Each structure stands twice: as structure tokens, then as C-alpha cells.
Amino acid sequence: MSDTLLFAEDKPTVEQNSNPPWKVLVVDDEDSVHKVTRLVLKNLSFDNRPVQLIEARSAAEARTILKQEGIDIALALVDVVMESDHAGLELIRTIRGELQNHITRIVLRTGQPGQAPEEKIIQEYDINDYKDKTELTGTKLKTLVYSSLRSYRDILTIDHQRTSLETVIHAIGKINEVKSLGMLASAILDQLISLLQFEPDSIYCITRRIYRNEAHFNVLAATGALEPLLKDKSHSHKSMMQYHEDELPKELQEVFNTALLEKCSIHTKQGYVAYHSGMSGSESLLYVKHHSQIDEHAKHLLEIFSADVISTYHTLLLKEEIQETQEELIYILGEAVEKRSKETGAHVKRVAEISALLASLFGTNELFVENIRLASPLHDLGKIAIPDAILNKPGKLNPDEWELMQTHAEIGEAMLASSDRPIFQLAARIAGSHHEKWDGSGYPRGLQGEEIPLSGRITAVADVFDALNSERCYKESWPLEKTLGLLQKESGKQFDPELIKLFLDNIETVLDICNRYPD
């Protein structure tokens, strides 16, 4: 080759490190160019990351590498003339057009500048620089690589921030769809990882509350190595896992205690802990573990982000507490009615869970499943108006007593229908229809088939099964085989046949519910 590449007496002193390298693709058909480039860029590093050279002897070979590596190639040094006079230019069109790679920095190098005029090439091709090989001394080549890598790094940062912003904006639109504090916490932590480019196991969020003078830590979200802290071995519907201090990883106990004692956010060599005090004496901690020094900009961003995120946690925590309080009140009310008739309070919990199971198996949406779990415990609310002598009569009711007993369905419906809350509206339909029968022989209205609300048909199956399978003041519990036999016999008569099939096909799951909520 006639072109000469000069370079000065550079003596790089680079410390070896394990950080991922910057990938630089050198595309040229002359071995001497690759040899000189290797010599000049040997041991080069930028931003505490080494430079890795990848060599291609043709545009076709470079195209294959770029398809595999994508935007992981930080810089491509491309010769113009290789297997054809315009092979390098065609490669650039492929990178920017076919591969839609607009992040990799491209520098065109030529030994024949007259064949590809600089002004024309820069105007027509999406490149970042254009160099005559003869002007690239060792120092200038290094300067070119440094500036290109700096540009690539900044573009990646902007692209990550753009992607994160899009995700956050999209999440804001769905904020009301978040069902639990834990789900939102996990979603936000994922965004923080993406935004700051931390390792997947670097973030952990927790809250501390004082109950009866004892500290409890509730894990809201965790990632990577800390994720097992979220695994619930029980079948609870809670969105958080509770731990005592000594149950947490030791690496966290010291930094948490320091932040809690000083009541402020702290930075350590291992990571950053954001502290935030909230309502009802609760304290929140957001732990960010990092493997390299966090710059001041990142620290400032963490401070702002953590404060806003934890404030959101507290808002949703209040919302979740209100929802849980509502659920507990419904159970307490349902249990009060059952205990008045000397039946077990666990009956309403079993009916609730079995009803939710059947609703899910029937293919209803998640909102209906959750609502029927909350509403079905109130199916017998109207019994509050029935005299004790009738409710607790050990023998068979006479016609007058039976007629009075039947009024509990309409009484319960009327009581619940006075509320415009969706849960109580659904509970009203259940109370008024769970004694209707598929063949039209039920009460209070003699509805038939699909005239009966689905919620009432579902609760009827759950209620009758559990009533027969449990001991009551007027009877012993039935053997399981006898109970299932009755359900099968009444399929298409008392009960919706499709629901009975689903029930029998999933009897093991039903029995698991019964075992979780024993009398």
C-alpha cells in the first residue's frame, strides 16, 4: 500500500480491568492497515473500559459482524475501496438503512480521497467523520477514537433515557390498573435499573413500621440476588413479605440501621440508601448497590427519583390499606351473620375463595374474579332480620317458618342495593339470586337458566357445597362423595351444569381451599 500511517512514541499506561470493552470494528482489505491500527490502539482504554478491536477484510464480512453485534459496535472504521470501488459506501447504506443502526459511530477512511470527494460523501452518507489515511498519525487516530467513543457513550445515554421516559409515560397512563403496591414497586425499580444502567441485582426496596413497639420490615420489591425475599411460601394475597431485622441479609442490616438511626439518606462505598419518613410513623428505604463510583449527577438523580418513588409507595400503601380494611370489614360482617346462626365464620372465606376460583375457571375477567371474592361473603346478609328461633332451629322448619326464612334473600338484596358501590351492587345481586335454581324452581323470583346472574349461580354452587361439607346446628357434615354426588345429580336442575363440570374437574383445588380455611 502506498499510504503511510505515522504515529508518535506513545506509551500508554493502562490498568487492566474487567469492565466490558468498547468494540471498535476495523473494516479494510489491507493487512498492513490492521497491523498498524492494532499497534496504535494497543492497550487503549476510555472511561475505565478497554478498547476491543474487531477486524473485517471485506464489506461482506463486516456486514455479518454488524448483524450479529448490532449497536454493541461503538465505532466502525470503514475503508471505501475493498472488494469493489464503493464497497465501503454500500456498507454504510446497509448499516443505516437495512440494519437501522443509527447509534454506531462510522468514520470513513480512504487512501484515494479524489475518488470519493469529502464534501459529497458527507452530504450523501450518514457518517460521523471522513479521513484521509495519510493524515491519521498515531495521536490523531487515538484522538479520533476517543471522540467517537465519547459521542457513542453520550448517544447511548440519551437513548436509554428516551426509552425509560417512554416507559414511564406509558406506566403513568396505567397507574390506576396497578393492583398492588408490590407490582408498582417492581415496575418502578425496573425503570430505575434501566435509567441508571445498574446491575439487575443492585436495587432493593423496603419499608419499616413499628407495630406494638416492635419493628417489622416489609419487602416491597427486590431484584437479582435479593429477589428470593419476595417469594411467598404461603397462599396469601398480600403484596409484601414481612421480616424481622435479623432475617434480612447481613449486608443490608448495617446500612439500613445507619440510615434509620440518622434518619437521612446515606452514600457508602457499596451503595446508596434513600431514606424517607411517611405517614403513620412508617419509614421507607431504597437501597441501590453499585459496582463503581456513582457520580454527582447520578446521586442527585437518585435523590429526586427515590423521594418521588417512595412518596408514591406511601400513597398506594394507603390505598392498599383502605382496600384491605374494606375486605376485612366485609368478612367480619359476613362472619357475624354466620355466627348468629351458629355456623362457622370460616364458611364465608371458603365461599369467597371457591366463588373466585369458579369465576376464573368460567373465563371472567380479573376484576370480576376479585369483586366476587369480596362480594360473595355477604350472600346471607339478610339473615340478620330472621329470628334466632328460626335460624337455630335444630329440626325441619314448618311452612310458615320456611316462608319467613326465604325472605332473607330479598332483605339482603335490599340492604346492599342501597349502596352505589360496585362491590355492594354485586353483593346485592348475589344475595337476591343465590337461592334461584337453574330449572326455575328457586326463590325469591323463580328465575331460570341464564336469567339468574352469573354471580348468583357461582355463589350458589360454592355455598351449597360448603354447607353440605360442613357441620351445622341441624345436621352432621356429609361425606365428600355424597356431597359431590348431589352436585352431579342437581346439575341442570338446581345448578348451572357448566359450573358443576368446572367444579368437579377442579375438585382438588377446591379441597385445597377448604384445607386452608378450616373450621
Q: Rounded CA gap, 357 and 512, in Å?
A: 11
Helices within 341-475 (DSSP H only): 346-362, 366-375, 388-391, 399-406, 408-417, 422-433, 454-469
Q: What is the pLDDT of residue 123?
A: 82
Q: What is the pLDDT of residue 194?
A: 65
Q: What is the pLDDT of residue 439?
A: 96
Mark 408-423 as b/e (b = at least 16 C-beta within 10 Å). Answer: bbebbbebbeeeeeeb
Q: What CA–CA distances, in Å, run from 69 to 1, 66, 123, 144, 509?
A: 30, 5, 27, 22, 48
Q: What is the pLDDT of residue 110?
A: 84
Contact 469, 483 (CB under 8 A): yes
Q: What is the pLDDT of residue 252?
A: 80
Closest C-alpha among 379, 403, 373, 361 to residue 456: 379
Q: Helix 497-505 to helix 346-362 angle, to the nearest 10 degrees?
A: 100
Q: What is the pLDDT of residue 474?
A: 56
Q: What is the pLDDT of residue 10?
A: 43
Long-range contacts of 330-338 (CB under 8 A, 24+ apart): 330/374, 330/375, 330/377, 330/378, 330/423, 331/377, 333/377, 333/378, 333/381, 334/377, 334/378, 334/379, 334/380, 334/381, 335/377, 337/380, 337/381, 337/383, 337/384, 338/380
Q: Rounded CA gap, 46 and 49, in Å?
A: 5
All domains in the chain, ordered by first residue: 22-154 (3.40.50.2300), 175-320 (3.30.450), 341-516 (1.10.3210.10)
| Residue 383 is among the residues annotated as catalytic for this protein | yes
What dihedral do alpha carbons 164, 169, 175, 177 form, nearest 10°?
Answer: -90
Q: What is the pLDDT of residue 8?
A: 39
Pair type for strands 105-110 and 129-132: parallel
Residue 44: CB partners within 8 Å, gap ≥ 6? 12, 14, 50, 51, 142, 145
Q: What angle do CA 103, 109, 113 make, to 5 degrees?
A: 135
Q: How far is CA 500 from its chain centroid?
A: 35
Q: Which of 133, 142, 349, 383 is catalytic?
A: 383
Per-residue pLDDT of the chain (519 residues; tens, 9 = 90+): 334 444 434 444 444 456 789 999 999 999 999 999 999 999 899 988 999 999 999 999 999 999 999 999 999 999 988 988 889 999 999 999 999 999 999 999 887 766 667 777 888 888 989 888 878 788 899 999 999 999 999 998 888 777 766 766 665 555 555 555 566 666 667 666 666 667 666 666 777 765 556 667 777 777 777 777 766 533 343 445 677 777 777 778 888 888 888 988 888 777 788 887 765 566 778 887 776 666 677 677 767 766 776 677 677 767 777 777 777 778 777 766 766 555 555 788 899 999 999 999 999 998 899 999 999 989 988 888 888 888 878 778 899 999 999 999 999 999 999 888 888 999 999 999 999 999 999 999 999 999 999 999 999 999 999 989 877 655 677 999 999 999 999 999 999 999 999 999 999 999 999 999 887
Whole-model pTM? 0.51
Q: What is the pLDDT of residue 3?
A: 41
Cell of 492: 341442570
Amino acid symbol at 405: M
- What's the burial of 282, exposed, middle or buried (CB within 10 Å: 0-12/13-18/19+)? middle
Q: What angle do CA 306, 312, 314 make, to 5 degrees?
A: 105
Residue 199: CB partners within 8 Å, gap ≥ 6? 193, 224, 289, 290, 291
